[in-house]
Structure 1
Amino acid sequence: MSTPTVAWRKRLLPVAATLLLAGTLAACGSSGGNGSSSAGKSNDPPWCGTKPITVGYAAGLGGNAWVDTSVAVYKNEAAKCSNITRVLDTNANADPQAAISQFNSLVAQGATAVVVLNGTGQALVPAVKSASARGVAVGIDMSGFAPDANAGYCCGLIWDTKAAGRSYATWMAKALKGKGRVIVLGGAAGQPSFDAMWDGVKEVFANYPDIKLVPDHWVATSEAQGQAQQAVAAQLANGPIDGVITDYADTAIGAMQAFQASGVPIPPIATNEQNRLGCEWETLHKSNPNFELYAASSLVEAAAQTLHMAVEQAQGIKSYSGDTAYDSKPFWDSLSADKKPACDQSYPQQAFMSGGIDAATAKKILGN
């Protein structure tokens, strides 16, 4: 996921796997109604309200499986409300100017409840603040803005990336027995969530004087596999890397490829789960016995709950203020006998296994 990542969150109430049933992923920038009347029906969920409403989802990060799945969750949840007449979404591909223009376009098209997955630092703050002042309910899905940005949005489910950083680092210190050189791979440059994750990592490693962070800052990769591979390869040219911390499976895979291309054994990696990561571990651990893997749960289900909050705010059902922290939980841990990483061949490689999504639904969203 980040996928993903900007405030990359105490735990959100789980959203059932049924959020994704019968859904297919539509192209970014698409729109569509649910084909029913504009008045809310008595069997609609209470969070829908009754007034006709247009909703939007503004993804700032480039299209990847985590973002695609989050958008699919949002669309399928919106389809539960007969009074949601248009369902819009955009993807800025980490381009700040595109993020601003696309967000403004959603508002111009009449969206009064907009979910934002930020991926462009603080670029969107003025636009969000302006829209919020005009009554648009803006909800933040996992990745938001710096705490002092005062963006004015109504509500947010924000990944507690500092807590995640502490979890990654605590596991890494155990895997490395308190000694080694560790690289931290992040998302788009300027994402505050990775600053927080970095702080959490440093907080733990302060107790381990023989663990060194290389380089002395987190490395931006836009959560892209190729950029992660390049970043790790560049750092390997400056010395060994004994561990990798990153929040997304794509960057973890990119790191693996860099070690393989350099003829270096794959070291322990701490990240978030995805099916292909389990498949890679099952295959590569046999020839890389020191390749241990920790993977926290994915966070895609949060898009639905964020939509609930934004719609409730726009409909006057509830009034929200501020963020709700969301803390991911351990899903795989190769150091633990009962949490070994696993590969499920019935699921797409890109599927997120911690969300409770069945194989058929995952294939509809992500393909085979």
Structure 2
Amino acid sequence: MMKSCLGMNVLSGAALALSAFATVSPLSVTQAGAADWCKGIAGGVFCAEPAATPPSFCGTKEISVALADGFAQNPWRQMTTAAAINEASQCPNVTGWDHTDGQGNTQKAISDLSGLAARGVNAIVVFPDAGPAMLPAIRDAFKQGSTVVPYRARVGGEEGKDYSVFVGTNFHQDGVDWGKWMAKALNGKGNVAYLGGPAGTSQSRERADGILEAFKDYPGIVQIGQKPFEVTNWDSSMVAKSLGALIAQYPQIDGVIADLSMGVVASGVFERAGRPLPLIAGEDANVFGCTWKKLHDADAKSAFQYTTNSAEQWNVRLAVRWAIAEAAGGKMDQPLVITDPNGTKHTVAEAGVKEVTNFQLEDSLAGTVFCNPKLPESASNGTSLTDEQVLAALKGGL
């Protein structure tokens, strides 16, 4: 039996909530209580509903906050930016917000970060796509007096010396989870490719290590393509290019594991090549459940199956909390709890922890599939945002 509803009865993203104390839904408000800076972004759709008592991570000192992205123009980054705005808007002492896009250019990302520090932004959250190449600029911003919190991609260096706090996630476990699911789904035999991000990112290296760990017990599984991963820069066009090259080189592709996994289906590369979709493991996107439903409605014996972990757009929330707490004298004494579309609560970070723990969102073989007809294929169903906020985020321009 399906564990989630499909079609018109599908659970919407509005059922997914964020918990700062108990469970607080990230409602969209434009009322007077919302900060002016937040109301000025997309009409205030991302503003959190003001609480009688602000979360303890907010502290009391008035500060400005910025998110410095190495690359911001894919759906994951757009939804992540919306989640960051929503999180920061819970704090009435946050008086300003900025967001920069390095556009996949390391030198621009460095310049963006340097500019934020020079302007005196108090708390800066950084997604350092270029990895250690960003460390000198991060260190300089920190030494200029900004609270700097790199997250997800490791840069080296030391907390308290080169930056304030590093907020991570267990990418290795993602790789283990995906690799084990893939190997079992293929009955221990098949050709599998892994599509990662930029060449220097720790995120994809750690996932690749986890995948290899899982495959050790399955000698019949062969990793094809570039190793440790196909470099795609988390860019949809590069995902399509990599897949095209793989299809041209390998007559049989049984499975694809990918960071920006929605591109495996959304690119249409397999369809245009007259090849069936492989089994897929990766980060959640609406395209998977809706494609699964379409194919299985047309043919109950369809071979397409997939699994996803939450795409963790909410990871940025923990980074924003740490950045604000460090800059404004707040306390990190509450857990971060995410409620999935089935209503299950996941404590993804205990109080005071600097790393989130992910959770499996879908497994079509186990009957857990999400398709939200209100959202486009590029949306995720585990974002911690409402449907309205997701749709606004995907318009870009944040």
Q: TM-score range by the shorter chain?
A: 0.7 to 0.9
Partner residue in 2 for 1:144 = 153
Partner residue in 2 for 1:220 = 231
The one of 382, 385, 389 aligned to 1:354: 382
Trace 1:78-227 onto structure 2 (pairs within 5 A): 78-141=88-151, 143-146=152-155, 148-150=156-158, 152-215=162-225, 216-227=227-238
Partner residue in 2 for 1:364 = 392
The one of 303, 316, 322 aligned to 2:316: 303
Q: Distance in 1 between matches of 2:52 and 2:255?
A: 54
The one of 289, 301, 311 aligned to 2:302: 289
Q: Which amino acid aligns with 2:179?
A: A
> 3-state DSSP class of the match of 2:354?
strand
The one of 257, 260, 283 aligned to 2:268: 257
Partner residue in 2 for 1:8 = none
Structure 2 gap segments, 5+ residues each: 1-17, 31-35, 41-50, 334-351
Task: Say whether 1:276 aligns with 2:304.
Answer: no
> 3-state DSSP class of the match of 2:133?
coil
Q: Deviations over 1:282-336 (max 9, x none)?
A: 223546822211011121122222111111111234599x983323211111110
> 3-state DSSP class of the match of 2:131?
coil
Q: Distance in 1 between matches of 2:126 and 2:201?
A: 14
Q: Distance in 2 between matches of 1:127 and 1:297?
A: 31
Partner residue in 2 for 1:248 = 260
Partner residue in 2 for 1:10 = none
Partner residue in 1 for 2:345 = none
- TM-score normalised by structure 2 residue count: 0.77
**Is the CA contact 1:269–1:292 (under 8 Å) kept in the aligned structure 2?**
yes
Q: Distance in 2 between matches of 1:289 and 1:356?
A: 31
Q: Which runs of 4+ in 1 moved over 6 A?
A: none
Q: Which amino acid aligns with 1:235?
A: L
Q: Deviations over 1:112-167 (max 9, x none)?
A: 211112212222100111222333211233x2224x44472222331211110000
- TM-score normalised by structure 1 residue count: 0.83
Partner residue in 1 for 2:344 = none
The one of 361, 364, 373 aligned to 1:331: 361
Deviation at 1:221, TM superposition (A): 0.9
The one of 367, 370, 373 aligned to 1:342: 370
Structure 1 gap segments, 5+ residues each: 1-12, 24-30, 36-40
**Is the CA contact 1:173–1:205 (under 8 Å) kept in the aligned structure 2?**
yes
Q: Distance in 2 between matches of 1:348 and 1:319?
A: 35
Q: Distance in 2 between matches of 1:232 and 1:199?
A: 21
Count of aligned pairs: 338
Q: Which amino acid aligns with 1:324?
A: K
Q: Distance in 2 between matches of 1:342 and 1:122?
A: 37
**Is the CA contact 2:255–2:279 (under 8 Å) kept in the aligned structure 1?**
yes
Deviation at 1:70, TM superposition (A): 1.2
Partner residue in 2 for 1:55 = 65
Q: Distance in 1 between matches of 2:38 and 2:179?
A: 45
Q: CA RMSD in A?
A: 2.8
> 3-state DSSP class of the match of 1:237?
helix
